[in-house]
Amino acid sequence: MTSPDPAALNAALATVSDPEIHRPITDLGMVKSINVAEDGSVDVGIYLTTQGCPLRDRITSDVTTAVSKVPGVTGVRVDLDVMNDEQRQTLRSSLQGGRPVKTIQFAEAGSLTRVLAVASGKGGVGKSSTTVNVAVAMAQQGLNVGVVDADVYGHSLPRMFGVVHPPAVVDGMIVPPEAHGVKVVSAGMFVDGNRPIVWRGPMLHRALEQLLADVYWGDLDVLLLDLPPGTGDIAISSAQLLPTAEVVVITTPQLAAREVAERAGAVAVQTRQRVAGVIENMAGLPCPHCGEMVDVFGTGGGQAVADSLTTLIGASVPLLGSVPIDPRLREASDAGLPLVVSAPDSPAAVVLTAIARELGARTRSLVGRPLSLTPVS
């Protein structure tokens, strides 16, 4: 019997990626040992990044499957251990790419990630459900997407994404869980049950800073921030921490929602942020019997907000889309299965997918970014 080739075993382990970090376990220093017995059986020692890792069974299964395919292997046994503090610190340093620990990568001059801050003037307009579905639709279109649930008091994204386990933490660095192809992090992932978060301004700023700086995001094409309603502390902090972020305003058609949505968009003037566009939610209810659109909350509100902000800002603010009312959107959000996944052909999902394509196709502005031009002598 031919003994398994050590190089082949290492190559097989290099095909196994950590389910949360999405990099080969060989690059992450997670392979502790490889021992081959005379009968061809292989013992593989694996370091987990944290004690009680919720994905330990998946890692064990992936390692077993990969090593079993190597010629000469008669059996595989995986022994799990946990990294010590020094190993976790080394891993964090590797993932940070040499950047200072508290650096917000999206605020750096060379960042190519487009940051979209999703805002609304008032609650109840479907801001979070819109954020979730647009993010997932972008991921379906091939983009690398991350979402920050910046609504610290009213955090709801973990449920809407169907995230059931907390993020892994490596030497103080948060590894965000991934759902439907989107990396998501929320303050709600760090509290027990449905316990409320009772913080004031400075604590809110620090929480948002931590969710941005202490998270391993990897290379993202788009980062979405689900902001709390209104023009309070988090809206101001997000502009300070992410000055190149663009604002997407969510409204519903009725006059009361339009007026406060315009205020939310007007904040961008004071913070010198670009308004990427307006999304009109709850734009009519299709009659289940005849299909005629019933204007439950009126009509034209989204376009009115876009026109008002265009006049105020002095630059074109487009209406990105009008999303009709669909009870399945609420049902999908409660079930942790976004509408663009559960019912992609529904009218609401079609509009949300088109909005995602429109936002995802735009490139980040070059304003304020160095172009690395060298003068010709």
Q: What is the pLDDT of residues 230-239, one digit of tens each?
A: 666 777 788 7
Compute the distance between CA of residue 164 and CA of residue 344 in angstroms, rounded to an integer.
23
Quickly tell me which residue has 């690398």 as its tokens.
144
Q: Does domain 105-361 have CATH number 3.40.50.300?
A: yes
Please report, for the chain, the start and end positions of each structural domain, with discontinuous segments joined by +.
6-83, 105-361
For residue 147, the SS3 value is strand
Burial class (CB in 10 A: 0-12, 13-18, 19+), 291: exposed
Q: Are 263 and 121 in contact (CB under 8 A)?
A: yes
Q: What is the pLDDT of residue 89?
A: 77
- Beta bridge partners of residue 278, listed in sequence order: 249, 319
CATH architecture of 6-83: 2-Layer Sandwich (3.30)
Q: What is the pLDDT along the chain (377 residues), one digit of tens a residue?
A: 678 888 999 999 999 998 878 889 998 889 999 999 988 899 999 998 877 677 888 999 999 999 999 999 999 999 999 888 788 778 877 776 655 556 788 888 788 899 999 988 777 788 899 999 999 999 999 999 999 988 777 778 888 998 877 787 777 788 888 999 999 998 777 766 655 555 555 677 777 888 888 888 888 999 999 988 766 677 778 878 888 889 999 988 887 777 778 877 777 777 788 899 999 998 877 777 777 777 777 778 889 889 888 988 888 999 999 999 888 888 888 888 999 999 999 999 999 999 999 998 865 544 444 444 455 54
CB atoms within 10 A of CB 254: 16
